[in-house]
């Protein structure tokens, strides 16, 4: 059974990353990384990376939380997890800008 971890990484007061993953030995077996922003007093997902279909991918979300685009990512869960967190920490403003334009 994988060991599960759940973390919240604050970017600022209104933006955060929610990171969940399960590992067995040195292998990531499941993960979800979600960039969230406060909208009307509630946390809303902006973009989500996960492996729910057995392949790492990114879901771009609308303001209601619906998937409007899906991008399949190359690599294993181990390969992509750290790079996803790094990418979101660096590029969160761009993701929020695109999210705001989807109103």
Predicted confidence band of residue 101 (pLDDT cuts 50, 70, 90): confident
Q: Is the pLDDT of residue 102 over 90?
A: no
Report pLDDT for 1. 66
Q: Residue 7: left (phi > 0), alpha (psi -120 to 50), or beta?
A: beta
Q: Is the pLDDT of residue 2 over 80?
A: no
Give the DSSP letter string of 40-92.
TTEEEEEEEEE-TTSS-EEEEE-TTS-EEEEEE--S-HHHHHHHHHHHHHHHH
Q: Is the pLDDT of residue 103 over 80?
A: no
**7 neighbors 24 (Cβ within 8 angstroms):** no
pLDDT per residue over 22-78, tens digit each? 999 999 999 999 999 999 999 999 999 999 889 999 999 998 899 999 999 999 999
């Amino acid at each position: 059974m994988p060991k599960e971890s759940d973390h919240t990484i604050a970017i600022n007061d209104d933006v955060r990353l929610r990171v969940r993953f399960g590992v067995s030995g040195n292998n990531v077996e499941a993960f979800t990384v979600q960039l969230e922003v406060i909208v009307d007093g509630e946390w809303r997902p902006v973009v989500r990376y996960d492996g729910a279909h057995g392949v790492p991918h990114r879901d771009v979300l609308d303001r209601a939380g619906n998937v409007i685009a899906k991008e399949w990512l190359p690599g294993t869960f181990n390969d992509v997890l750290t790079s996803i967190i790094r990418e979101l920490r660096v590029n969160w403003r761009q993701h929020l800008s695109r999210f705001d334009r989807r109103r």
